[in-house]
């Protein structure tokens, strides 16, 4: 019988093209078969709250949990993870990042052990690519409007059609950008969503969305404070377009369905804690008849590959998704990053996730996780700190 013998964690730091540097932890599950290694990723840890885990101690803890486990024992592996890292019902809880990295590596390892893709292990791909909504990050300064317009122009030239527009910090700049973008790009620009990121109360979010409704967008995301289910339900009643919200626990998914509070689930591997719990969320969505989009925290290629395999295999994942991290970061850790063709994320080839860690690339960006040169606002809005 093949067995897991240990866990190796490597922390890395990757700058984004927008200026902020994000920390990640690359997971490698070692086995007693030479060359059989499962890989995963604890992605984009530069989210609130502002602390990082003790990586060497976590490595010892995870090795103690998983050593001796059969790579095909996915249910038992996740049972052990949930027992030690329970759901905290918060989208940026550190436990969910830990579980995501390890559970993804378990799925990668199991699929490699069988010589198949993760998507095949999930039941088989229903599609081979997913349209991607490129993120336009929140505007805080006057100069941001023209910078963001230039980003849209560049991405349209690259073949992207869909965009997700972050709003809610400076509504005057948000409106200016939206109107200028529509005037400049016309119907060539397809706005998947206005993403409020839970920054505004539902009334304020609805007022703004209604004021700019003539610009044209398909969804409104997170138009109420976190866990404000009444606010979401109110927004759903008032807005002329569907409302989506991130799903970060089983209970939250059930509550959203029971309250009839949203039209769309935003489901991401990182937000729920891995591929195993993502399957459970999709089961809830399918039972409720709720369509889903694949969300993101913006992962490197390993985490993005996990999202791709899920997106291709889940019937309810019918809307344009968000994972575009490999195009945002200036470095990666794999030999062959995931690929985007005409604004679509494609399903990686090869067994498991289809990702192979490049030791040289990994070593080039390895380093301790840090919160230096970061502020709470920069962490929320994914921007560099502006010198005072």
Supply the DSSP string of 41-82, one letter for each residue: EE----SSS-----HHHHHHHHHHHHTT--TT-HHHHHHHHH
- In terms of CATH architecture, what is 4-119+362-381? 2-Layer Sandwich (3.30)
Active-site hit among 92, 134, 248, 329: 92
Q: Look at residues 154, 162, 213 and name the one whose alpha carbon lies nearest to residue 187.
A: 162
Percent of the chain with pLDDT over 90: 91
The three-class DSSP label of residue 307 is helix
Pairing mode of beta strands 264-267, 21-31? unpaired
Q: What is the pLDDT of residue 48?
A: 86
Q: What is the mean pLDDT of the segment spanning 268-274?
A: 96
Output 384 or 121, whichever has higher pLDDT. Answer: 121
Within 10 Å of residue 237's Cβ, how many Cβ atoms? Answer: 11
166 noted as active-site residue: yes
385: pLDDT confidence band, cut at 50, 70 and 90? low
Q: Which fold has domain 120-353?
A: TIM Barrel (3.20.20)
**Under 8 Å CB-to-CB from 250, ≥6 apart: which residues?**
87, 277, 280, 281, 284
343: pLDDT confidence band, cut at 50, 70 and 90? very high
Active-site hit among 134, 166, 248, 340: 166
pLDDT tens per residue across span 137-181 = 999 999 999 999 999 999 999 999 999 999 999 999 999 999 999
Rounded Cα–Cα distance for residues 152 and 141 (Å): 17
Within 10 Å of residue 256's Cβ, how many Cβ atoms? Answer: 21
Q: What is the pLDDT of residue 388?
A: 47
1: pLDDT confidence band, cut at 50, 70 and 90? confident
Q: Look at residues 168, 126, 105, 45 and name the one whose alpha carbon lies nearest to residue 353.
A: 105
Strand partners, 238: none
Largest Cα–Cα separation, the chain:
63
Tell whether the model's pLDDT for residue 18 goes beyond 80. Answer: no
Q: What is the mean pLDDT of the segment spanning 189-196?
A: 98
92 noted as active-site residue: yes
376: pLDDT confidence band, cut at 50, 70 and 90? confident
Tell whether the model's pLDDT for residue 3 goes beyond 50. Answer: yes
Domain ranges of the chain: 4-119+362-381, 120-353
Within 10 Å of residue 258's Cβ, how many Cβ atoms? Answer: 10
Q: What is the pLDDT of residue 309?
A: 98
Which structure tokens are listed for 81? 């993870």
pLDDT tens per residue across span 57-113 = 999 999 999 999 999 999 999 999 999 999 887 778 899 999 999 999 999 999 999
Q: What is the mean pLDDT of the segment spanning 323-348?
A: 98
- For the chain, the average pLDDT equals 96
Q: What is the mean pLDDT of the segment spanning 220-242?
A: 97
Rounded Cα–Cα distance for residues 44 and 227 (Å): 22
Q: What is the pLDDT of residue 356?
A: 98
Which structure tokens are listed for 200? 């505004």
Tell whether the model's pLDDT for residue 383 goes beyond 80. Answer: no
Rounded Cα–Cα distance for residues 24 and 22 (Å): 7
């Amino acid at each position: 019988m093949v067995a897991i013998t240990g866990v190796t964690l490597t922390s890395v730091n990757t700058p984004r093209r927008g200026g902020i540097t994000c920390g990640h932890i690359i997971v490698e599950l070692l086995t007693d078969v030479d060359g059989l290694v499962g890989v995963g990723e604890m992605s984009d840890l530069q989210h609130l709250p502002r602390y990082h885990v003790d990586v060497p101690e976590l490595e010892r803890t995870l090795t103690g949990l998983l050593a001796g486990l059969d790579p095909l024992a996915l249910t038992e592996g996740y049972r052990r993870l949930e027992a030690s890292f329970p759901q905290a019902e918060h989208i940026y809880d550190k436990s969910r990042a830990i579980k995501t990295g390890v559970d993804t590596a378990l799925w990668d390892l199991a699929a490699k052990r069988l010589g198949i893709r993760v998507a095949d292990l999930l039941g088989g791909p229903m599609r081979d690519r997913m349209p991607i909504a490129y993120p336009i990050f929140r505007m805080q300064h006057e100069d941001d409007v023209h910078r963001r317009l230039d980003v849209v122009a560049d991405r349209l030239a690259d073949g992207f059609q869909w965009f997700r527009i972050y709003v809610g910090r400076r509504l005057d700049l948000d409106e200016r950008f939206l109107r200028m973008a529509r005037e400049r790009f016309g119907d060539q620009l397809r706005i998947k969503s206005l993403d409020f990121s839970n920054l505004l109360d539902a009334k304020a979010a609805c007022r703004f969305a209604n004021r700019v409704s003539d610009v044209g967008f398909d969804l409104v995301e997170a138009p109420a404070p976190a866990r404000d289910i009444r606010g979401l339900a109110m927004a759903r009643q008032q807005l002329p377009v569907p409302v989506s919200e991130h799903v970060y626990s089983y209970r939250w998914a059930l509550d959203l369905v029971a309250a009839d509070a949203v039209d769309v689930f935003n489901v991401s591997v990182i937000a729920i804690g891995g591929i195993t719990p993502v399957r459970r969320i999709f089961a809830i969505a399918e039972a409720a008849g709720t369509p889903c989009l694949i969300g993101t925290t913006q992962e490197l290629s390993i985490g993005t590959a996990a999202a791709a395999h899920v997106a291709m295999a889940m019937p309810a994942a019918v809307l344009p998704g968000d994972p575009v991290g490999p195009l945002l970061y200036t470095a990666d850790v794999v030999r062959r990053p995931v690929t985007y063709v005409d604004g679509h994320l494609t399903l990686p080839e090869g067994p498991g996730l289809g990702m192979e860690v490049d030791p040289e690339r990994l070593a080039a960006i390895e380093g301790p996780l840090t919160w230096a040169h970061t502020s709470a606002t920069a962490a929320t809005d994914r921007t560099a700190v502006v010198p005072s």
